[in-house]
Amino acid sequence: MLDSSRTLLSSFLRPVRILRAYNLSSLRPDLVAGLTVAVILVPQGIAYALIAELPPQTGLYAGIVAAIVGALWGSSDQLQTGPSNAISLLTLSTLLVAAAPGTPEFLVLAGLMAVMVGLFQLAMGLARLGVLVNFVSHSVVVGFSSGAGVLIAVKQLRHLFRLEVAGHGLIETAHGILTYLPETHGPTIALGLGTILLVALLRRLYPKLPGPLIGMVAAAVAVGVLGLDSQGVVVIGELPRSLPPLARLPLLDLELAGQMSVGALAVAAIGLVEATSITRSIASQSGQRLDSNQEFVGQGLANVASGFLSGYPCSGSFVRSAVNVRAGAQTPIASVFSGLFAMLAMLALAPLAAYVPRTGLAGVLIVIAYGMIDRQEIARIWRGARGDAVIMIVTFLATLFLNLEFAVLTGILFSFAFYIMKTSVPQVSSVLPDERFRHFTPQPQKPQCPQLAILDILGDLYFGAVSHIEEAIHQQLAANPGQRFLLLRMHSVDQCDFSGVHALESIARACRDLGGDLFMVRVHEPVLDLMRSTGLYANLGADHFLSEDDAIAHLFHKVVDPAICVYECEARVFQECKSLPRLTYPVEVPPHTEIPTGVVAYVSPRELWQQLRSDSPPQVIDVREPREYRQGHVPEAQLKPLPTLLGETPDLAQEHPIILACRSGRRSTRAAYMLQNRGFRNLAVLRGGTLAWEAAGLLDAIDEVPIRGVEGDDAGASPQHRC
């Protein structure tokens, strides 16, 4: 409780820490940066307010207040907070449900909405929920910004042509413009197009100059010199020469707040995503360590202050932040200076706004809207992951054709859905040692160990993912029935819940039912703690959690069946396998994988069991080694190890049915193929070998005495398993 109180207090005392640490050597570069940004803030504040169909001074008030408050309570040294084009468009879309533009109620609700947005953001920051913004895909911002750019450009066409067009939707606005296009006012369109041309040329030829400000000044000079206002060119009118006044807001009108809550939440979300994206981009160059929670607090307080001081919702501005960095800003005080300089400019130049034409502002906004469509970023996303591209396209289309607040929330929900889909289907990859036996990598082109499966789980074992992981592991075991032993590499499993524990218990049971076992390496300590507390660790046994360096050696020497390694395995997957003797045959025997499909006939364990109970049972030949035979075999089976069988003329009756059996079907398939080449036709292979016979509950013959006539080291070996 004490730590939480200290965290809250620390969040609000951020300005004290900034001022205490301020170095006077930063004063000059901060002043220069503040003045440079103010030159851009003034025209942008006016233009962005007009996007929201608010009075121009509302944008200036918001820019002044948010720049100061956002800098003092935020986390970034260079982030510029204030009006932005996307947030302005979202604000308009939300306010339209409660009031009409141009009415006093509309202006009051803009302030109320800013306060609501700020409270949402402030609550998230104080609750330390800054990490949530990481789950919103960057594609949402790109898709929304692109859609907003199209909407802004289309909406400004009415002012560019001076057309009285009703409606606010894309289709309604476009239809109205096309309908009333013949009524275009000549001087208005000429002045607007001239402003677009001037700003676009300045942006291309002299990008360091404040193009929007120069364009607005040039348009205002044209109006004043040529008297275009008397010819019907609409001007924005003189601005009030006063400090941002305190607004009286209907804070207790819960019904009104409820109407705007969805829109306020959407503005808060997209504002935080924008601000966080900008601060990260700046920090990647400056090396500053950021605190997302503190930035949430700064954005929240900036919006609350903007709402109470006659402004409207704000966010971080990429353009002004970039200018702030290029101008040499070293501390948040640079943004404070920008707000103060903008306030002085407003007080000094307010009368001159009477000459600023609405069409000139529309031209400036159309150029800005065109810049919002980041074609390079769109192309990169399109060439990248399909999921990001889908999120971008859905958000873009939703922005064009849905209410904007729902468009934003749609994009965010798609981000969450995409994240859940990715984390709920983590990759379960079968891996093998590389050629130098130093690393484990997926190598699907290489044969696997017939006894041991090694799987990487590349994701968390939580309730949303366990079904997929469990299914993938069972599919691996089913595809390789001989792999009774399973080694899980857990280095990518950072989180595990009780559902994950249940899944591991189920996998362990499946392995043990096959006569094998489950082992793990590189289990993170938090996951290991959960396994201990839930009893999974004790159930598996401490010796089942292995060191990665020694895991293969331990399993090779103490767990897997060496007879299989010698007599069945052709892969020699592990370094330990290289020291094993290679079994030689008197004739060349092809690997079972090279035997054509359909050449060898098979019988199931149940079919063989029924044949053995018939009046004319088949002759069963077990081609395994003596030690394996003694562990259990099909009743009445004769032992003829594969090298012996192929090295002599088989004493078998060709007219009598012959069934060949081995452990898993590999050796017996090879034996059948070779015998067929010698003229034997009436023979088949026990499908799945004695493993399948055992799984069917049929293996009950065990020999305890050495088998006569069989020589070799395995002749006197004791059985490892009883069936």
pLDDT of amino acid 249: 93
State yes or no: pLDDT of 383 exceeds 50.
yes
Q: Residue 723: which pLDDT band, with cuts at 50, 70 and 90? A: very low
Longest dimension (CA), the chain: 121
Given this model, what pLDDT does residue 334 score? 95
Q: Is the pLDDT of residue 592 over 70?
A: no
Question: Which of the two residues, 465 and 67, has the higher pLDDT score?
Answer: 67
Q: Of 28-42, 512-526, 653-667, which gets the smallest average pLDDT?
A: 653-667
- The mean-pLDDT minimum among 65-69, 433-437, 608-612 falls in 433-437
**What are 315's strand-pairing partners?**
82
User: Regarding predicted confidence, which is higher, 714 or 454?
Assistant: 454
Whether the per-residue pLDDT at 295 is higher than 50: the answer is yes
pLDDT digits (tens, 9 = 90+) for 615-649: 889 999 998 888 778 878 898 899 988 888 887 76
Q: What is the pLDDT of residue 479?
A: 82
- pLDDT tens-digit series, residues 676-700: 888 888 899 999 888 888 888 776 5
- pLDDT score, position 266: 87
Please check the confidence at residue 4 and state whether its pLDDT lies above 80.
Answer: no
Domains of the chain with CATH codes: 2-418 (no CATH), 427-577 (3.30.750.24), 592-716 (3.40.250.10)
More reliable by pLDDT, 258 or 439: 258
Which of 213-222, 294-303, 587-596, 640-649 has the highest mean predicted lDDT (pLDDT)? 294-303
Q: What does R_g of the chain's alpha carbons equal in angstroms?
A: 38
Instruction: Decide: 493 and 530 in contact? Cβ < 8 Å.
Output: no
Average pLDDT over residues 161-187: 84
Asked if pLDDT for residue 324 goes beyond 80, the answer is yes
- 244-270 per-position pLDDT tens digit: 999 999 998 888 888 899 889 989 988
pLDDT for 704 = 42
Dihedral-angle region of residue 594 (phi above 0 means left; psi in -120 to 50 means alpha; beta otherwise): alpha
Give whole-number Cα distances, 32 to 35, 121, 326, 647, 698, in Å: 5, 31, 11, 94, 89
For the stretch 141-162, pLDDT in tens is: 888 888 888 988 888 898 899 9
* Least confident among 193-207, 336-350, 475-489, 560-574: 560-574
- Distance between CA atoms of 348 and 535, rounded to whole angstroms? 75
How many H-runs (helices) and E-runs (strands) does the chain carry? 29, 14
Of 378 and 437, the one with more pLDDT: 378
Tokens of 271: 């504002």
In the structure, what pLDDT confidence band is assigned to residue 705 with cuts at 50, 70 and 90?
very low
Q: If you ran DSSP here, which 8-state letter would residue 688 be given?
A: T
Range with the poorest average pLDDT among 515-519, 584-588, 599-603: 584-588
Residue 59 CA: distances (Å) to CA of 219, 236, 477 = 20, 13, 65
Q: Is 2 exposed, middle or buried (0-12, 13-18, 19+ CB in 10 A)?
A: exposed
Torsion angle, CA of 348/350/352/355, rounded to 10 degrees?
Answer: 170
Q: What is the mean pLDDT of the chain?
A: 85
Predicted confidence (pLDDT) at residue 720 exceeds the cutoff of 50? no
